[in-house]
Amino acid sequence: MPLEYKKQSLFDAPKHSIIIHSCNAQGVWGAGIAAEFKKRYPYSYSGYYEQCKEDYNVLGTGDLSWNDTREDHWVGWIIVSSGYGKSLDSQDSINVNTTLALFNLCKNIYSYHPKSQTTITVYSNKFNSGLFGIPWEGTEFILKSVLSHFPRIKWVVCDPDLKEQT
């Protein structure tokens, strides 16, 4: 199964693995988990910021940082809303852009990782469910749908509050 859950913080993913989160198209990682990404991964933030400032049409895209040796992880982002805070896009728009951005991110992951690797593991939180206010079940459905087209990607959702299955 390409999607699994682990009871852990996203930042406890194995070193040099890919960790991703969703963000806005303004070049701002200013609140929630994005602010923590900015603090922990300033070089990756610079790549995201430059992408937003250089390319007018970043909404619905996903990319990876260049695994800077000064950072513990490959950082990826999906740009799902043109704004943030009170300027968030609608839930429908965020869902559409999440679908586009995940396809784009997964294509980039395939490009950046040689085909000789059988499985590429990606770690995320329950993205979109925090400050974007999107119910996780909808995002999970989108993620599973996209992953069905990328069989070499195994996705691990990190949730420190995960309840044990009985």
- 61, two tokens: 């895209």
pLDDT at 166: 45
Whether 125 shows a pLDDT value over 90: the answer reads yes
Whether 113 shows a pLDDT value over 90: the answer reads no
| 33 in Cβ contact with 125 (< 8 Å) | yes
- 151, two tokens: 């069989």
Percent with pLDDT over 90 in the chain: 81
| 137 in Cβ contact with 106 (< 8 Å) | no
pLDDT digits (tens, 9 = 90+) for 28-63: 999 999 999 999 999 999 999 999 998 779 999 999
pLDDT at 66: 77
Taking CA 64 as the corner, what is the angle to CA 58 and CA 65, rounded to the nearest 5 degrees? 110
Angstrom CA distances, 112 to 43, 105, 107, 124, stand at 18, 10, 9, 18
pLDDT digits (tens, 9 = 90+) for 58-109: 999 999 997 667 888 999 999 999 999 999 999 999 999 999 999 999 999 9
pLDDT at 112: 82
Whether 165 shows a pLDDT value over 80: the answer reads no
| 89 in Cβ contact with 55 (< 8 Å) | no
Taking CA 89 as the corner, what is the angle to CA 83 and CA 95, rounded to the nearest 5 degrees? 120
Q: Which CATH class is domain 3-158?
A: alpha beta
